[in-house]
């Protein structure tokens, strides 16, 4: 393990706080040190205020910031003298601590200081770094973790037994640190929690962290307990409908739709198929603050009801023990281990599910290493409960705010790489959905970089490609709740007298047949949607008002509209709504180049501007206009509407 410190990069972060930002980002860049908001860092600076008074200030990571991406505004400046006085108190309640921290920040608009601010304050070094390094957690989550830490570090580190984070931990460290520390002390290990390093400069503190973690890794390597190859695993066998059924059960248990991503890599299949999985996976998280993302233990197999019942008992057992009344969180699992699909991760969004994946992937690394050392032993469940139901941890999740209308739902959009389809992806994302984006253009795989989109190259007229795309999409997000059938072709003007059979069939294949197949294949998935499935079909103004020279196109869209009406009738009992939009003259799509628009405008003797707004309202209709209506049709506004056809055309005299 080597440090990433680079003098040229460091020079781009001037000042002591700048270097604090730089080395915090270096720590955040290594997921084996900290994950998704975990860990924290600080620097103590002397500053002069507007009255000319010198003040000692602790700049500590603000709550809600991630070390990987933190910048100077992410550090909260708190008065150091006050924090040191607090550390000497016998007790301080959480609300008192939060209030004391908030009222002693010296910059308006600064984030809330980390709940570990007092602990950072009592460590007598300018720079302090704290991580939850995998290697440390592997060593300390064992039966004789304290002895192993002494074997590795001798008295180079101060050793603190597990205590709940917050004031109690800070107070214990304030007593223990002076007792154990000496001139050669390099860091502090918190059993079952993580590690601190410190130093006179940002670089010294950072490098000590790297060196201390490297010593733990070297120890694990010497015991053949690090970087273990995944166990041989039987291939995944779970089909997409099984996965969608499980996601539905988890969503119903949670009380809201969840994204459910599955990961059948050898690492996860091998772990889920271990003979001792019921023992090694059911002990608890590797560091307590993971509990708010993963729950205390994963679900083994697919019995969501049994998992929820066990969770309710766990809650009842510990809620009775504490004085403060607590409200139970939803009892649904966040991590699922199953021999047929490996690892499953549930979250309110694809990003949340991705965080669960990252945390559990590292959890497996730690469990495997600790098991190789002789046995993984996590904290007792009451310690985990105390952190799971700690108001200060719950506050972190609540910062996310109210969920968006399609949070946890999964949409599938065809023809998603351009025009109306691409705009639909945007409108659905903006409402919180995860989107499976299909297109015949291979660029679709890379054009949406966010974790909420799975872009898949797919010719919808090819049954095998479609089946593979559905498997991949359901593997990524767990199902399909919303279906937007948009892919279509619009061939150049051909009078019927010249229309070749091949051309007619090609248009029917894409605009009609492929949509029948997609409807049929997604029906079992749509039926499982917690809030009922929704289908929006992009028809055309040509259905109510056809034009000469577009026989195949108009006939295909008319047949598709009729298909949609029948589907609305057949699937109503399954709570699936099917509605059709008829857009007209949407020119910002792949079909219309500026040149073609200009040519058509000339053909009608109109300027380009008049041609584009040649409708009753004299407005231009854009892809985004159609996409917003399509998304709204999937929302609660249209809860009582199915089988409808709605024009999005600026008003057309022939239609009205």
Judge residue 614's burial from the number of C-beta atoms within 10 Å of its C-beta, 0-12 exposed, 13-18 middle, 19 or more buried. middle
Q: What is the rounded distance in angstroms from the CA atom of residue 54 to the CA atom of residue 49?
A: 7
At closest approach, how far in Å is the CB of 392 from Zn ion? Answer: 12
In 422-509, the DSSP E strands lie at 434-439, 453-457, 482-485
Which strands form 187-190's sheet, in the order they lie side by side? 75-79, 54-61, 40-48, 127-131, 194-199, 187-190, 157-160
Q: What is the rounded distance in angstroms from the CA atom of residue 121 to the CA atom of residue 101?
A: 12
At closest approach, how far in Å is the CB of 39 from Zn ion? Answer: 6
Distances (CA, A) of 256 to 124, 330, 407, 477: 47, 10, 9, 15
Name the residue whose CB lies closest to Zn ion. Answer: 194
At closest approach, how far in Å is the CB of 34 from Zn ion? Answer: 9
**Are 184 and 190 a contacting pair, CB within 8 Å?**
no
3-state helix, strand, coil in the chain (%, to 5): 45, 15, 40
**For Zn ion, the closer CB: 131 or 261:** 131
**For Zn ion, the closer CB: 190 or 622:** 190
At closest approach, how far in Å is the CB of 319 from Zn ion? Answer: 25
At closest approach, how far in Å is the CB of 130 from Zn ion? Answer: 6
**For Zn ion, the closer CB: 194 or 257:** 194
Contact status: 419 vs Zn ion (CB under 5 A): no
At closest approach, how far in Å is the CB of 184 from Zn ion? Answer: 24
For residue 329, the Cα-to-chain-centroid distance in whole angstroms is 19
**For Zn ion, the closer CB: 131 or 283:** 131
At closest approach, how far in Å is the CB of 139 from Zn ion? Answer: 16
Q: What is the rounded distance in angstroms from the CA atom of residue 65 to the CA atom of residue 61?
A: 7
Side-chain-side CA neighbours of residue 246 (13 Å): 31
**For Zn ion, the closer CB: 194 or 432:** 194
At closest approach, how far in Å is the CB of 87 from Zn ion? Answer: 17
**For Zn ion, the closer CB: 194 or 488:** 194
Of 189-208, binders to Zn ion (CB under 5 A) are 194
**Are 443 and 503 a contacting pair, CB within 8 Å?**
no
At closest approach, how far in Å is the CB of 132 from Zn ion? Answer: 6
**For Zn ion, the closer CB: 191 or 412:** 191
Q: What is the rounded distance in angstroms from the CA atom of residue 532 to the CA atom of residue 640?
A: 12
At closest approach, how far in Å is the CB of 210 from Zn ion? Answer: 18
Q: What is the rounded distance in angstroms from the CA atom of residue 426 to the CA atom of residue 416?
A: 10
**For Zn ion, the closer CB: 98 or 543:** 98
Q: What is the rounded distance in angstroms from the CA atom of residue 476 to the CA atom of residue 264?
A: 11
At closest approach, how far in Å is the CB of 229 from Zn ion? Answer: 30
At closest approach, how far in Å is the CB of 638 from Zn ion? Answer: 47
Q: Copy the structure tokens of residue 549.
A: 């020279």
Of 156-195, binders to Zn ion (CB under 5 A) are 194
**For Zn ion, the closer CB: 67 or 543:** 67
Q: Copy the structure tokens of residue 571.
A: 């699937």
Q: Pairing mode, if any, of strands 127-131 and 75-79? A: unpaired
Q: What is the rounded distance in angstroms from the CA atom of residue 339 to the CA atom of residue 300?
A: 9
**Are 20 and 41 a contacting pair, CB within 8 Å?**
yes
Binding to Zn ion by CB under 5 A, coded x per residue (else -) over 601-640, reads: ----------------------------------------
**For Zn ion, the closer CB: 28 or 194:** 194
Diameter of the chain measured on Cα atoms:
97
At closest approach, how far in Å is the CB of 1 from Zn ion? Answer: 20
| Spatial CB neighbours of 115, under 8 Å, sequence gap ≥ 6 | 63, 97, 165, 166, 392
In 229-339, the DSSP E strands lie at 259-263, 299-300, 335-338
Q: Copy the structure tokens of residue 470.
A: 């559905």
At closest approach, how far in Å is the CB of 40 from Zn ion? Answer: 7
Of 325-364, binders to Zn ion (CB under 5 A) are none
**For Zn ion, the closer CB: 194 or 331:** 194
**For Zn ion, the closer CB: 25 or 114:** 114
**For Zn ion, the closer CB: 246 or 366:** 366
Rounded to the nearest 10 degrees, what angle do helices 145-153 and 202-222 cross at?
Answer: 120
Q: Copy the structure tokens of residue 633.
A: 């049709």
**For Zn ion, the closer CB: 192 or 511:** 192
What is the total count of residues that contact Zn ion (CB under 5 A)?
1
For CA atoms 570, 575, 577, 578, give the dihedral sign: negative
- How many CB atoms sit inside 10 A of residue 181's CB? 15
- Residue ranges in contact with Zn ion by CB under 5 A: 194
């Amino acid at each position: 393990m080597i440090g990433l410190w680079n003098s040229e990069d460091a020079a781009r972060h001037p000042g002591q706080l700048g270097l604090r930002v730089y080395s915090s980002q270096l720590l955040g860049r290594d997921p084996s040190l900290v994950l998704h908001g975990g860990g924290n860092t600080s620097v103590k600076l002397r500053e002069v205020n507007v009255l000319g008074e010198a003040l000692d200030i602790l700049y500590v990571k603000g709550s809600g910031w991630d070390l990987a991406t933190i910048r100077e505004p992410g550090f909260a400046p708190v008065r150091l003298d006050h924090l040191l006085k607090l550390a000497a108190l016998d007790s301080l309640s959480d609300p008192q601590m939060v209030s004391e921290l908030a009222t002693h920040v010296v910059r308006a608009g600064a984030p809330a200081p980390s709940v570990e601010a007092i602990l950072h304050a009592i460590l007598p070094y300018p720079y302090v770094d704290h991580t939850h390094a995998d290697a440390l957690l592997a060593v300390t989550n064992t039966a004789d973790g304290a002895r192993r830490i002494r074997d590795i570090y001798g008295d180079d580190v101060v050793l603190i037994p597990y205590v709940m984070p917050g004031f109690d931990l800070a107070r214990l460290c304030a007593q223990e640190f002076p007792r154990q520390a000496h001139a050669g002390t390099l860091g502090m290990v918190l059993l079952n929690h993580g590690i601190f390093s410190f130093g006179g400069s940002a670089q010294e503190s950072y490098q000590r962290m790297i060196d201390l973690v490297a010593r733990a890794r070297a120890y694990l390597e010497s015991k053949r307990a690090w970087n273990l190859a995944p166990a041989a695993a039987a291939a995944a066998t779970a089909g997409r409908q099984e996965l969608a059924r499980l996601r539905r059960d988890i969503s119903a248990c949670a009380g809201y739709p969840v994204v459910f991503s599955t990961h059948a890599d050898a690492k996860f299949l091998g772990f889920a198929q271990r003979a001792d999985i019921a023992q090694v996976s059911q002990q608890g998280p590797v560091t307590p603050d993971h509990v708010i993302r993963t729950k205390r233990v994963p679900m083994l197999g697919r019995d969501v009801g049994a998992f929820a019942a066990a969770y309710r008992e766990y809650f009842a057992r510990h809620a009775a023990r504490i004085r403060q009344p607590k409200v139970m969180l939803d009892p649904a699992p966040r991590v699922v281990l199953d021999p047929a699909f490996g690892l499953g991760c549930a979250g309110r969004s694809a990003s949340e599910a991705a965080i669960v994946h990252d945390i559990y992937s590292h959890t497996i690394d730690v469990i495997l290493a600790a098991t190789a050392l002789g046995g993984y032993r996590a904290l007792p469940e009451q310690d985990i409960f105390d952190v799971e139901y700690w108001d200060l941890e719950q506050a972190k999740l609540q910062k996310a705010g109210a969920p968006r209308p399609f949070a946890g739902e999964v949409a599938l959009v065809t023809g998603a790489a351009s025009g109306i389809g691409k705009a639909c992806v945007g409108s659905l994302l903006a409402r919180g959905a995860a989107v499976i984006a299909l297109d015949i253009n291979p660029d679709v795989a890379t054009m949406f970089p966010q974790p909420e989109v799975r872009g898949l190259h797919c010719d919808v007229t090819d049954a095998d490609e479609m089946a593979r795309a559905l498997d991949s999409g359901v593997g990524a997000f767990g199902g399909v709740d919303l279906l937007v059938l948009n892919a279509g072709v619009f061939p150049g003007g051909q009078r019927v007298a010249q229309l070749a059979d091949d051309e007619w069939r090609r248009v029917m294949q894409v605009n009609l047949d492929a949509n029948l197949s997609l409807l049929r294949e997604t029906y079992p998935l749509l039926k499982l949607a917690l809030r009922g499935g929704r289908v929006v079909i992009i028809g055309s103004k040509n259905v109510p008002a056809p034009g000469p020279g577009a026989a195949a196109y108009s006939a295909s869209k008319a047949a598709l509209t009729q298909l949609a009406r029948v589907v609305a009738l057949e699937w109503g009992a399954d709570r699936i709504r099917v509605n059709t939009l008829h857009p007209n003259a949407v020119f910002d799509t792949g079909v219309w180049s500026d040149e073609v628009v200009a040519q058509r405008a000339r053909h009608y003797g109109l300027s380009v501007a008049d041609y584009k707004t040649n409708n009753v309202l004299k407005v231009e209709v854009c892809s985004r206009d159609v996409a917003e209506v399509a998304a709204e049709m999937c929302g609660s506004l249209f809860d009582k509407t199915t089988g409808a056809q709605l024009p999005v055309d600026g008003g057309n005299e022939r239609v009205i």
